[in-house]
Amino acid sequence: MTQELHLLPIGKSDPDMMGWLRQELIELFRVPCRILEPGLDPQFSYHPERDQYHSSEILARMQEYVTARSWRVLGITPVDLYIPILTFVFGEAQMGGPCSVVSSYRLRQEFYGLPSDRDLLGRRLLTEAVHELGHTLQLTHCDDYNCVMAASHAVEWIDLKDFLFCSQCARCARAHAQF
């Protein structure tokens, strides 16, 4: 049975951006990729005291979407994510597990009071998607600031790094997945 990367829309997603991301991830990981429909309503993870969505609760719910055909399940959401010890997260993944989630909320230029830039949003979303998928392949943060696995605590750090693994991270990723 051929395994697939499953993209799961979480909340109101941009179908054009999801389609573009699907194609980019097929080329990078060389696995079939399918967008799951219907998506997941993230309302269960909303916490009004923070006006944000708890990403760990979303990851737990995403387990319901894992099947024998799932190589990985990557959630894409426009909502603002957090974990309790941090103000926000761009994404979260199950280290070595099947699920990860990425938010476009703080990747948009509009969040910083700047004009919309769809190309930049796409590049940032791709970079964070590859980063979180890397965690599902048991990769930790990399000290090489150009590597996609470098930590990103601000959007500027995402812009500095590539959307590809450095040679060392690529070797480790290949040890855990076929691509």
Per the annotation, the verdict on 128 as an active-site residue is no
Using omega within 30 degrees of 0 as the cis cutoff, is the peptide bond preceding 32 cis? no
How many CB atoms within 10 Å of residue 167? 10
Two structure tokens written together for 60:
């737990």
As a 3-state breakdown, the chain gives helix, strand, coil percent values, each rounded to 5, of 40, 20, 40
**Residue 164 has what DSSP assignment?**
S
Two structure tokens written together for 117:
């830039």
Considering the candidates 4, 49, 132, 156, report the single residue annotated as catalytic: 132
Q: Count Cβ atoms within 10 A of the Cβ of residue 160 and give its class: 0-12 exposed, 13-18 middle, 19 or more buried.
A: exposed
Which residues participate in catalysis according to the annotation? 132
